[in-house]
Amino acid sequence: MKTTTKYIYFIFLVIITLASCNNKSKEIKLAHGLDTNHPVHKALVFMADRLTKNSNGELTIRVYPSNQLGSERECVELLQIGSLGMTKVSAAVISSFSPDFQVLSFPYIFRDKEHFFKVQDSKLGKDLLLDAEKYWLRGMCYYDAGSRSFYTSKKQIKTPEDLKGLKIRVMQSPIAIEMVKAMGGSPTPMASGEIYTAIQQGVVDGAENNLPSYYFSRHYEVAKYYTIDEHASIPDVLLIGTHIWNKLNEQEQKWLQNAVDASVTYQRKLWAESERFSMEKAKEEGAIIFYPDKAPFVKSVQPLYDELTKDKRINELVNQIKSIK
């Protein structure tokens, strides 16, 4: 896209982001990359409905799904300049803007699902959300994005040694790349929309993602071996640009935060249901599910931890997360 066209597009978004529908109504534009069947999208629609009800229509949200207004990274950049109101992105994406978020992408940083939620609901979790404000981003909440596991087309991954020689698609994330290397695989970053064809054509031998994404993207058709090693549990994060947040008065901020908080409980319920459904349907479609001993996988990434925690701040955050009971 040419620079002039981009400029015109940004100006257009500025105009529509926090528009006054009338003297008493404000509308916030929220964009994300998920389809309309995803639990997070449903939670965002729930949040928008709750906000309309809470504010009696004085403050509303219009949701734009499926990358209508740009990729995850592009939406974050639009938030920073005030050209978009809100977005949902992976914590792995935010770490490129707010470095402290990278600890949430560390392999096996969470002991289990209960610990995962306790960290999010803790003071540390809330402080991380607000820490992004110095980058013109305010975290509103976390959404459950499940646990990421490996799936492959050629053989079942039972131990880290089984990854040797295999090309595994990963997110464009330094930690994801180094994690697969530490386990012996060959990480191959690429866009999520390219995974199916890449596996089908042998460009990569597999990928890693949560079970609903594996099922709803129909990746079981080209990679039937799914190993539930749960090497990462990276939450999604709902962001609002500080340019927009600061334009809301105190009452409007309360209406919005209350709606967001209600959507968290709703989304966690939807996600749990989606995981159960996806497991059942993936098996029906011929996916071969395997539960490995996680200890060798945990051991294989210890050198990565040793390297990452040389940073004093990161080491402090890791210790805080591990101390939460």
Residue bearing tokens 């005030």: 82
Q: What's the predicted TM-score (pTM) here?
A: 0.88
**Topology adopted by domain 148-233+282-323:** D-Maltodextrin-Binding Protein; domain 2 (3.40.190)
- Residue ranges of the chain assigned to CATH 3.40.190.170: 3-145+234-276, 148-233+282-323
Reference 275, options 231, 230, 325, 321; nearest CA is: 230
CATH of domain 3-145+234-276: 3.40.190.170
Find out whether 309 and 103 touch, Cβ atoms under 8 Å.
no
Q: Which residues of 253-275 are buried (b: 16+ CB within 10 A; e: fewer)?
A: eebbeebbebbbebbbebbeebb
Per-residue confidence in pLDDT tens, the chain, 325 aa: 445 555 545 555 555 555 444 446 899 999 998 889 899 999 999 999 999 999 999 999 999 999 899 988 899 999 999 999 999 999 998 998 999 999 999 999 999 999 999 999 999 999 999 999 999 999 999 999 999 999 999 999 999 999 999 999 998 889 999 999 999 999 999 988 899 999 999 999 999 999 999 998 999 999 999 999 999 999 999 999 999 999 999 999 999 999 999 999 999 999 999 999 999 999 999 999 999 999 999 999 999 999 999 999 999 999 999 999 9
DSSP conformation letters of 209-238: E-HHHHHHTTGGGT--EEEEEEEE---EEE
**Cα gap 124→118, rounded to integer Å:** 10
Distance from C-alpha of 267 to C-alpha of 233, rounded to nearest angstrom = 16
CB 143 within 8 A of CB 40: yes
Per the listing, tokens 């998920």 go with 34
Rounded to whole angstroms, the Cα distance separating 71 from 305 reads 30
